[in-house]
Amino acid sequence: MYSLTVRDHIMVAHSFVGEVFGPAQALHGATFVVDAEFRRPALSPDGLVVDIGLAARLLKEVLGPLNYRNLDEEPDFRGRNTTTEFLAGEIHRRLKARIAAGALGDDGKALVSLKVGLKESHVAWASFEGPLT
């Protein structure tokens, strides 16, 4: 399986509900390094997984509505704990929809899976991986 990974970041504020979260129940900030790994079994005739510029631009566009936001105030997330794991799945869902709509051109049609990873720090990260079909 071939893969191409692009990276960006987001800065958010949020809080969590539940004793398991301890001090993170209070409003706090987080900066996430976000990796999107696009996969396909064979390279395109040009020797690509997808165009790296298109992939980087797509990731930036998907992250834009989350960046510098208090996620507690976002209607899509009302009543949800926007954990690192949850956000990895949500970003995957948004990328998948844009890929299905043609955002990565013809090469995007050959992608079979996508992995989205969010790194909170050098000691903690989470990811979501799933098919694109």
Helix %, strand %, coil % of the chain (to 5): 35, 30, 35
Number of domains in the chain: 1
Coil, strand or helix: which one is 83? Answer: coil
pLDDT at 133 over 90: no
What kind and span of H or E run contains 91?
Answer: helix 84-100
Contact 85, 32 (CB under 8 A): no
Sign of CA dihedral 82, 84, 90, 95: positive
Mean pLDDT of 91-109: 97
**CATH code for the domain of 41:** 3.30.479.10
The domain in which residue 56 lies consists of 2-131
The model's pTM is: 0.96
Confidence of residue 100 (pLDDT cuts 50, 70, 90): very high
- What average pLDDT score do residues 109-116 get? 98
